[in-house]
Amino acid sequence: MQERIRHPLFRDRVVSADEAAKAIRPGMTVAMSGFTGAGYPKAVPQALAARVEQANAAGERFRIKVLTGASTAPELDGALAKVEGMELRLPYQSDPAVRERINAGTLDYIDIHLSHVAQHTWFGFFGKIDIAVVEVAGIRDDGSLVPSSSVGNNKTWLEQADKVILEVNRWQPEALDGMHDIYYGTALPPNRRPIPLVQPDDRIGEPSLRVDPDKVIAVVETDAPDRNSAFSPPDEASKRIAGHLLDFLAHEVKRGRLTDTLLPLQSGVGNIANAVLAGLADGGYRGLTAYTEVIQDGMLKLIRDGVLRMASATSFSLSPDGIAEFNANVDFYSKRILLRPQEISNHPEVIRRLGCIAMNGMIEADIYGNVNSTHIAGSRIMNGIGGSGDFARNGYLSVFMSPSTAKGGKVSSIVPMVSHVDHTEHDTMVLVTDQGLADLRGLSPTQRAKQVVAHCAHPDFRPLLQDYFDRACRDGYGRHTPHLLGEALSWHQRMIETGDMRPAGGG
Ligand code: 0RQ
């Protein structure tokens, strides 16, 4: 792999993953690369998990604090969680073994906005970063680093950590070189300056990451793929949700509030997001842009077809087919895709300036528009807020989407009061379910409730919600945002007790 490590000093530091992992000791804060299953270190975390397991067998406690960009993969989150090797994890995660431990109360998890992670690290809110473990696609002659399939918080990790372990992954396409834009102009208050990004395709930084060679204690060579799970085609509910949203966007264009190139799109990941992207192509749109976090297969296709002129993100999240497509047409894509640090891809200032259209999934919304993206029944974490809050609060439009029911129709995703709030009523402009779309802009709370109940609730739950709202309007303590507090969360309590939000277990 000499051609990937082109600086002699770094070649001299090549060691095995086992050797590198020895530098990580119990209690350390370790910052790792990785964002939505892309660009995470693949060898050192597994070697570390083996050491933790040995310590466990010897009756010793070996736990570390792990900071990342966003979710990683079984080789990192899964491996460390299974041996109880993490005492703290932040931010967004989606690993079943991690989730199980967080919800069992044995792993502390801090769920914060993705744009906050880097600056909170600089502010010192997480203490000292002992070691950074960062995957790169190569090391240049000048010692700078070619970022891999995600940038995430790597700039901050490399700058803030006392010591650095690099994984150079030969599997990552060489053509990634040149696709990144690493901005080095961030400063701390009160010395901050405007971020000079005014169009999604503006380049404001450098193509590679800087690292102080003296801090690099080990370089590990790998050749392993990203998580890149295959995508399932959109289901019926997702297609209906996408249809409602696309009708709404067309309506906004007709009313002159958007042009036919819309505004930069931010789209979450998953089935609904894919259906929306596919629908944009069918809707005849051309020359759109994306200013988002993750580039998934659907976006590649849009770029290929000219529907998207370009996309800016912080990470890829491609299926094996998507990777093959990218590799086969790499010259084409590399001119149309930019990967940036997540503090820039998710920066409130930039999102506000560009006027992004934020489209994210949710677990539930209430009749007034408060949104829960993260917790089942108010207490069990699913994944985390991710970047949804960065975009929802600061975008030109903020849309939240979900099927109208979950768990085979037993659970309503429209409830009297959300059991946990990630996005307040002030940050929600549009709610969409398979039933329809509620446009909440410019409406008072009671006006909003009427829209949400009429357009988003499933018919099995609509009369129950209407009844709650009517009684709250009549008997509530106040008439501005009417609630019956003794009853507002009873739907969740019923779900906990019976698995069903409907009264009398499905009546
Ligand atoms: O549970 O897996 O046990 O069946 O929640 O739900 O319907 O598969 O939906 O995969 O689109 O995820 C909000 C979690 C939706 C996601 C959330 C249960 C349901 C299932 C998943 P099972 P679905 P999705 C960009 C922006 C926050 C981060 C974000 C998310 C599981 O969109 O993590 O937006 N968002 N980031 O059964 C009980 C309900 C439920 C429910 C769903 N009302 N009650 N269970 N479920 N609704 C990306 C990044 O930031 C990196």
Spacing, Cα 362 to ligand 1 middle (Å): 6
d(CA 378, CA 492): 8
- DSSP E strand stretches across 368-415: 371-372, 375-376, 380-381, 397-401, 405-406, 411-412, 414-415
For 327-330, which contacts have Cβ atoms below 8 Å and span 24 or more sequence positions?
327/173, 327/175, 329/304, 330/173, 330/175
For atom 10 of ligand 1, the residue with the nearest CA is 270
Any residues with CB less than 8 A from the CB of 158 and at least 6 apart, and which? 132, 134, 145, 164, 209, 210, 211, 212, 215
Q: Are 70 and 79 in contact (CB under 8 A)?
A: no
For atom 3 of ligand 1, the residue with the nearest CA is 407
**169 labelled as ligand-binding?**
no
d(CA 196, CA 403): 39
**387 labelled as ligand-binding?**
yes
> Residue 196, preceding bond cis, omega within 30 degrees?
no
φ, ψ of residue 327 in degrees (nearest 5) = -65, -35
- 300-354 per-position pLDDT tens digit: 999 999 999 999 999 999 888 998 999 899 889 999 999 999 999 999 999 999 9
Task: Answer yes or no: is 1 within a domain.
Answer: no
Spacing, Cα 505 to ligand 1 middle (Å): 24
DSSP-based three-state secondary structure for 389 = helix
Q: Are 36 and 114 in contact (CB under 8 A)?
A: no
Task: Answer yes or no: is 145 within a domain.
Answer: yes
pTM of full prediction above 0.95: yes
Consecutive 10-residue averages of pLDDT for the chain (507 residues): 88 98 98 97 98 98 98 97 98 98 98 98 98 98 97 98 98 94 97 98 98 98 90 89 96 97 93 88 94 94 95 94 90 95 98 98 98 98 98 98 98 98 98 98 98 98 98 98 98 98 72
Set 75, 159, 221, 293: catalytic member: 293
- Residues in the ligand 1 pocket, defined by CB under 6 Å: 36, 70, 92, 114, 268-272, 293-294, 360-364, 373, 376, 382-383, 385-388, 403, 406-407, 411, 413
Q: What is the CATH number of the domain that holds 189?
A: 3.40.1080.10
pLDDT at 419: 98
Task: Answer yes or no: is 460 within a domain.
Answer: no
Spacing, Cα 279 to ligand 1 middle (Å): 21
**Mutation choice for ligand 1 from 92, 235, 382, CB with most ligand atoms inside 8 A:** 382
Residue 273 CA: nearest ligand 1 atom is 11
d(CA 41, CA 221): 10
Number of folded domains that form the chain: 1
Task: Answer yes or no: is 310 within a domain.
Answer: no
For atom 33 of ligand 1, the residue with the nearest CA is 383
Q: Retrieve residue 15's tokens.
A: 């060691």
Task: Answer yes or no: is 97 within a domain.
Answer: yes
- Name the residue range of residue 156's domain: 8-222
**Mutation choice for ligand 1 from 269, 363, 402, 502, CB with most ligand atoms inside 8 A:** 363
Task: Answer yes or no: is 160 within a domain.
Answer: yes
Spacing, Cα 414 to ligand 1 middle (Å): 14
Other residues' Cβ atoms within 10 Å of the Cβ of residue 444? 11
Q: Are 163 and 217 in contact (CB under 8 A)?
A: yes
**349 an active-site residue?**
no
